[in-house]
Amino acid sequence: KQEVTQIPAALSVPEGENLVLNCSFTDSAIYNLQWFRQDPGKGLTSLLLIQSSQREQTSGRLNASLDKSSGRSTLYIAASQPGDSATYLCAVRPSGSARQLTFGSGTQLTVLP
Amino acid sequence: DAMVIQNPRYQVTQFGKPVTLSCSQTLNHNVMYWYQQKSSQAPKLLFHYYDKDFNNEADTPDNFQSRRPNTSFCFLDIRSPGLGDAAMYLCATSRDFGGRETQYFGPGTRLLVL
């Protein structure tokens, strides 16, 4: 059974700092990995999706990497801003016909002004 | 704008009183999902529809049912809510591209059971 772990559970950084969020998964047989953002009491917003054949994806100040063989992904946020404060979740979709995503519990990020 | 809409945003019900949550989408996606998310936990998939085909997760309680009358709408029925069913319920959609698709989430419905 796939398990997704995100460490740390919470992180506080001063504004302007570059930071890395970590995600690990136990089964490397995946189709893709997604990073989501969730603001308090809100739904999830997709940030980046990396296919299993890809190594990284970039969108603005965000860069996500994937090392499938080691079961790890990172989300790099450059020049963090207070508006980046949210919970960041990663999710993997297994290879094969199953469509369900397995989520990590998330990292709650606070960027201090 | 194309989007995933959930109503109501907040729902208060009494222990054992049936409740229905709704989700609609203007994305014309063929797959719709219902997730349950409890506080500070990962979203947990309850079931999903691939077109009209219903797919139930093995550990989803029988208390939870779903209907998809057409492509745009999907409903989550909780037949006899218990205190443990208080959670955020998230609806999501995707267009199946053989593993390359992104799931788009609605804002969620927060359910409180008294």
CB B87 within 8 A of CB B36: yes
Closest Cβ opposite residue B41 in set A34, A99, A105: A105
More confident position, A86 or A93: A86
Write out the E strands in A2-94: 4-5, 10-14, 19-25, 30-38, 44-51, 56-59, 62-67, 72-77, 86-94
Which DSSP symbol is given to A110?
E
| pLDDT > 90 fraction of chain B, expressed in percent and rounded | 79
Determine the pLDDT at residue B2. Answer: 61
A contacts of B50 (beta carbons < 8 Å): 99
Phi, psi (deg, nearest 5) at residue A83: -65, -10
Mean pLDDT (chain B) is 92
pLDDT category, A97, cuts 50, 70, 90? low
Instruction: Give A95's pLDDT tier (boundaries 50, 70, 90).
Output: confident
A4 touches chain B (CB under 8 A): yes
